[in-house]
């Protein structure tokens, strides 16, 4: 049975809860499915302020299940209601808070741009204007990925769903992207640089190193990396280090040790990046996930 915990430390059981019951509890919680191959899935409830302004290097795609989910995005306030689809582009600043006193409940998937690139074959990353969409293709494509948060998906089921979602995004965007594809853009060089970063999580990396490894000049590579993976090489490396730190935390490692193992200078260095990426501190994140880390 899935156990939930509030930030006040009181536990409840999901099996005994209905969406309306949950909205009445005035407690914040997050349920997190096992991470799989560049995809993270969550369900959460927040009564007031959920997340401070932050940005991550993944797509955040999901739907509001109950209440009004308000967030700042691209210089405007958006209000997500049940029935629509949220699509937040990598590296775009956003926050999250309840639009009414009842709070809001939602499900979200976080997908690394590289996962969509594998399906789209080097196209520019699709962009959904405004972060909200009523496109039925997106609603249908997210359905499988937003179900069964309490279990891991079958690998083939997940791959099929991600392929459908990548192409639904591409179609719904009308080929719009934040960074249009330049004729000289080199997808292979960007892939080599990405692989190089994955092998160097525990040490400093320079842009010159990446340029040498990929056979591309440093500024062309920097532009290519942003085009295909939605963020800069440095931000990408920082986010992968945060992934490693979160995994260590979930295994019970102390924050100071998780920071060191992931390649951060110290715990405060990791915490600054954590808040900037997720909008909450590591300790608050762990409190909301506490039943799943024990």
pLDDT for res 124: 81
Query: Smallest Cα–Cα separation from 105: which of 1, 15, 17?
Result: 17
* In the predicted structure, residue 11 carries a pLDDT above the cut 70: no
pLDDT for res 164: 95
CB atoms within 10 A of CB 173: 20
pLDDT for res 27: 80
CB 93 within 8 A of CB 57: no
Output the average pLDDT for the chain.
85
- Separation CA 49–CA 134 (nearest Å): 25
Structure confidence by residue, pLDDT tens digits, 118-165: 888 878 889 998 999 999 999 999 998 998 787 888 888 999 999 999
- Separation CA 240–CA 246 (nearest Å): 10
Span 172-189, average pLDDT: 73
User: Residue 32 pairs with which residues in a beta bridge?
Assistant: 42
Structure confidence by residue, pLDDT tens digits, 246-256: 999 999 999 99
Structure confidence by residue, pLDDT tens digits, 50-86: 889 999 999 999 999 999 999 999 989 999 999 999 9
CB 229 within 8 A of CB 194: yes
* Confidence class for position 183, pLDDT limits 50, 70, 90: low
Which of residues 179 and 256 earns the better pLDDT score? Answer: 256
pLDDT for res 22: 42
**Edge-to-edge strands of the sheet including 94-98?**
49-54, 94-98, 69-73, 76-80
pTM of the model: 0.78
What 3-state class would DSSP assign to 253? coil
Span 178-207, average pLDDT: 85
List of domains in the chain = 32-173 (2.60.120.280), 187-229 (1.10.10), 235-293 (1.10.10.60)
What 3-state class would DSSP assign to 262? coil
pLDDT for res 20: 43
- Separation CA 5–CA 28 (nearest Å): 8
pLDDT for res 8: 32
CB 111 within 8 A of CB 88: no
What 3-state class would DSSP assign to 175? coil
Which of residues 4 and 205 earns the better pLDDT score? Answer: 205
> Which string of b and e fits 29-59 if b means at least 16 CB within 10 Å?
bbbbbeeeebbbbbbbbbbeebbeebbbbbb
pLDDT for res 7: 33
* In the predicted structure, residue 23 carries a pLDDT above the cut 50: no
Span 85-98, average pLDDT: 94
Integer CA distances (angstroms), 62 to 55, 106, 193, 228, in order: 16, 7, 30, 22
* In the predicted structure, residue 215 carries a pLDDT above the cut 60: yes
What 3-state class would DSSP assign to 199? coil
């Amino acid at each position: 049975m899935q156990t939930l915990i509030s930030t006040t430390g009181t536990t409840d059981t999901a099996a005994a809860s209905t969406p309306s019951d949950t909205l009445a509890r005035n407690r914040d919680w997050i349920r997190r499915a096992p991470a799989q191959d560049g995809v993270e899935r969550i369900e959460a409830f927040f009564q007031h302020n959920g997340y401070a302004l932050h940005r991550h290097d993944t797509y955040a795609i999901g739907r509001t299940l109950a209440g009004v989910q308000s967030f700042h995005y691209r210089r405007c306030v958006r209000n997500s209601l049940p029935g629509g689809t949220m699509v937040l582009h990598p590296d775009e600043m956003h926050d999250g808070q309840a639009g009414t006193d009842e709070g809001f409940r939602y499900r979200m998937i976080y997908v690394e741009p590289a996962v969509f690139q594998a399906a789209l074959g080097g196209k520019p990353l699709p962009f959904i204007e405004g972060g909200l969409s009523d496109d039925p293709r997106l609603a249908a494509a997210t359905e499988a990925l937003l179900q069964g948060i309490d279990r891991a998906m079958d690998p083939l089921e997940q791959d099929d769903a991600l392929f459908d979602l990548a192409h639904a995004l591409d179609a719904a965007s009308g080929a719009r992207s934040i960074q249009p594809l330049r004729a000289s853009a080199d997808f292979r060089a960007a892939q080599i640089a990405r692989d190089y970063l994955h092998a160097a999580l525990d040490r400093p990396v320079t842009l010159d190193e990446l340029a040498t490894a990929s056979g591309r000049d440093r500024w062309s590579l920097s532009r290519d990396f942003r085009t295909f993976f939605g963020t800069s090489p440095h931000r990408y490396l920082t986010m992968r280090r945060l992934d490693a730190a979160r995994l260590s935390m979930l295994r019970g490692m102390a924050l100071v040790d998780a920071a060191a193992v992931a390649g951060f200078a110290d715990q405060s260095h990791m915490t600054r990046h954590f808040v900037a990426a997720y909008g909450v501190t590591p300790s608050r994140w762990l409190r909301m996930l506490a039943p799943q880390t024990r």
